[in-house]
Chains A and B, each alone.
Chain A
Amino acid sequence: QSVVTQPPSASGIPGQRVTISCSGSSSNIEGNTVNWYQQFPGTAPKLLIFDTDARPSGVPDRFSGSKSGPSASLAISGLQSEDEADYYCATWDDTLKSVVFGGGTKLTVL
Chain B
Amino acid sequence: EVHLVQSGPEVKKPGESLKISCKGSGYTFSTYWIAWVRQMPGKGLEWMGTIYPGDSDTRYSPSFRGQVTISADRSTATAYLEWSGVKASDTAMYFCVRRRSSGYSAFDNWGQGTPVSVSS
Contacts and interface: CB of A to CB of B under 8 A. Distances in A.
Interface of A: 2, 32-35, 37, 44-47, 50-51, 56, 88, 90-92, 96-104
Interface of B: 35, 44-47, 50, 59, 61-63, 95, 100, 102-108, 110-113
B59 A97 contact: yes
A26 to B, nearest CB: 16
A51 B47 contact: no
B103 A88 contact: no
Contacts of B113: 44
B112 A99 contact: no
Contacts of B50: 99
A33 B45 contact: no
Nearest to B65: A98
B107 A98 contact: no
Contacts of A100: 47, 105
Contact of B61 (A45, A56, A99): A99
Contacts of A97: 59, 62
Given A50-B100, A102-B44, 11 more contacts: A33-B103, A35-B105, A37-B45, A51-B106, A90-B47, A91-B105, A92-B104, A96-B61, A98-B61, A101-B44, A101-B47
30 contacts: A2-B44, A33-B102, A33-B103, A33-B106, A35-B103, A37-B107, A44-B95, A44-B113, A45-B95, A45-B107, A47-B107, A50-B100, A50-B103, A50-B106, A50-B108, A88-B45, A90-B47, A91-B104, A92-B105, A96-B62, A97-B59, A98-B62, A99-B35, A99-B47, A99-B61, A99-B105, A100-B105, A101-B44, A101-B47, A102-B44
